[in-house]
Structure 1
Amino acid sequence: MILLVVSSCSRSISNSSSSPVKNYPETALGWKLGAQAYTFNRFTFVDAIRKADSCGLKFIEGFPGQNIGGGIEGKMDFKMDAAKRALVLAKLKEKGVTIYAFGVVGANSPEDWRQLFTFCKAMGIKTITSEPKESDLPLISKLCDEFDIKVAIHNHPNPSHYWNPDIVLAAMKGQSSRIGSCADIGHWVRSGLDPVECLKKLEGHVFHSHMKDLNEKGNKAAHDVRWGTGVSNIPAVIAELKRQKFSGMISAEYEYNWNNSGPDVAASVVFFRGALK
């Protein structure tokens, strides 16, 4: 892993990293445009904060297992102690970046699920992205209500359990209203599904999105491209989220060109904000 090697994403971004979030066009819609730290998984979490900030993104979704960096030992883990949590929050504050979500993450016991929610509450995290066992959903439902934290069920491609929105809808039936969907646009496209139709099925239940544009539909080997240049029909996805009055975080999750994805993310951000205008 390459540590502490950080370059500017792009000079073409109209908003500098110091610009207040309220100046971004998505803010008026209640959208938190940010980065899934997995986009920068060849680097540390502190690097991911810096890279997101340099792309004009003020929100981040952490993922479990990433080295923290910045002089802080250990990995991003919901079992970290209070002292380490404080150090991570201080690094976020330095760049004015908010950790809004955490995932994709799960737990293997009721005690671990509670520890995950306790960690997220302490970090100010609003949404957990997860692919939980359906048998765990009644427990998760109670924890969502107790901690006032949402769980967004994520979809990996077919044959992953939650690959189809119909399965997600059936799983959340009868559970807390704080259980919904993490709409992974790219994985729907890899499964040969129309992301706009998937969003329509999940209307009222989309809490979070992993935004991706891919070079090919119906192929698990398809790779990310800059938003607006692929087959995911990102403008139509944006229009559908607006129609639904979506409110939550949209994570740029760019899983290609791993060692130098910053310029691609930055260009995608510019496209996204231009489409909103």
Structure 2
Amino acid sequence: MSPTVDSPASRRQFMKTTAVAAAATLVPGITSPLFAAEKDPYAGFRMGIQSYSLRGFDVTKALETTDKLGLHYWEAYPNHIPVSTVPAQVAKYKKMLDAANVKLIAFGVLPFSKDETQARAFFDFAKAIGVETLSANPEKNKATFDLLDKLVEEYAINIAIHNHGPGAKYDKIDDVVDIVKGRNPRVGACVDTGHFLRSNEDPVEAIDRLSDRLYGVHLKDVKDAKIMTILGEGDLDVVGCLKLLKKNDYKYSLAVEYEENHENPVSDIEVCLSNVRKAVKQIG
């Protein structure tokens, strides 16, 4: 039972809270952690960014920018964090991630074939650095997927097949649905909403049909199936995507991805995130 407002403990807490809030208003750009913690603006989603969005920056600046954006999860692409199992190299990037208060939960997009040596190098790296999911563009053959079945089981790391739009291996929703059928449950999908729009596919339908194997989502927006745009300003049903993810208790990486203006993307990404927060308020 909580103390009443009139109790000494409550009065002390009230005065402390008021003092912190007052101090925060006096310092531009500072938000009281007491109030920041009261409400998660992303409704429990592990909201992050695909670091490709920040490809114009080196890894240090990209991580600093991520922290300033108020995000704490990354799906990194290899130009920011190279694949390596050298302990000193892994430790270096872990230290950088920790310093920026960013957790690396996904990585990619990586190619996979029947080449077990290459595949193990990717999985060994993921295990060493603590990645949960590898976004992937595997060859569409039995040998490759037999190998993936074995490795996801051995390493307890997910494979998320990433769709890349018209002409790619995984252009349509059916391409992903069909290839993962009967495979290890850890072999699943990373739904890139923008690329599905480019392929004239419905991202909400993709999330629905792949829900039991969904290990990654790239929130990206496109207008008229061809023009990359700021999230919330294209044809993506952002509310519909988030509502379904919430209904399905989605727990994996939810990464905004913005491919335009790579030299100075931050203000555009801020608008993307603002539109996500507005959509979150509508999902109930």
Please report the TM-score for the alignment, with normalisation by the length of structure 2: 0.81
2:159 to 151, 158, 165: 151
| Displacement after TM superposition at 1:185 (Å) | 0.1
Partner of 1:125, secondary structure, is coil
Q: Which has the larger radius of gyration?
A: 2
Which moved further from structure 2: 115-124 or 243-252?
Answer: 243-252
What's the counterpart of residue 162 of structure 1? Answer: 170
Distance 2:208 2:153 in 1: 26
Tell me whether 1:275 sits opposite 2:282 in the alignment: no
What's the counterpart of residue 225 of structure 2? Answer: 218
Which moved further from structure 2: 142-151 or 40-49?
Answer: 40-49
Distance 1:257 1:88 in 2: 26
What's the counterpart of residue 120 of structure 1? Answer: 126
- Identical pairs, percent: 29
What's the counterpart of residue 201 of structure 2? Answer: 193
Distance 1:235 1:15, change over 3 A: farther
2:135 to 103, 107, 129: 129
Distance 2:92 2:40 in 1: 28
Contact 1:181 1:207 in 2 (8 A): yes
What's the counterpart of residue 176 of structure 1? Answer: 184
What's the counterpart of residue 26 of structure 1? Answer: 42
1:92-111 residue pairs with structure 2 within 5 A?
Answer: 92-107=97-112, 109-111=115-117
CA offset digits 1:226-257 (Å, max 9, x no partner):
x2222112111111222222221111110001
Partner of 2:258, secondary structure, is coil
CA offset digits 1:116-155 (Å, max 9, x no partner):
1111011110010001113311111111111111110000
Distance 1:237 1:202 in 2: 12
1:259 to 259, 263, 281: 263
Output the amino acid matched with 1:61. Answer: E
Moved over 6 A (4+): 12-17, 19-22
CA offset digits 1:72-130 (Å, max 9, x no partner):
xxxx3223511011011101111110111100012452011111111101111001000
Distance 2:207 2:108 in 1: 20
1:59 to 73, 81, 90: 73
1:203 to 208, 211, 217: 211
Distance 2:195 2:128 in 1: 31
| Displacement after TM superposition at 1:218 (Å) | 2.3
Contact 1:15 1:56 in 2 (8 A): no
Contact 2:193 2:220 in 1 (8 A): yes
Distance 1:16 1:130 in 2: 40
Contact 2:158 2:186 in 1 (8 A): yes
What's the counterpart of residue 252 of structure 2? Answer: 248
Please report the TM-score for the alignment, with normalisation by the length of structure 1: 0.83
Distance 1:83 1:16, change over 3 A: farther
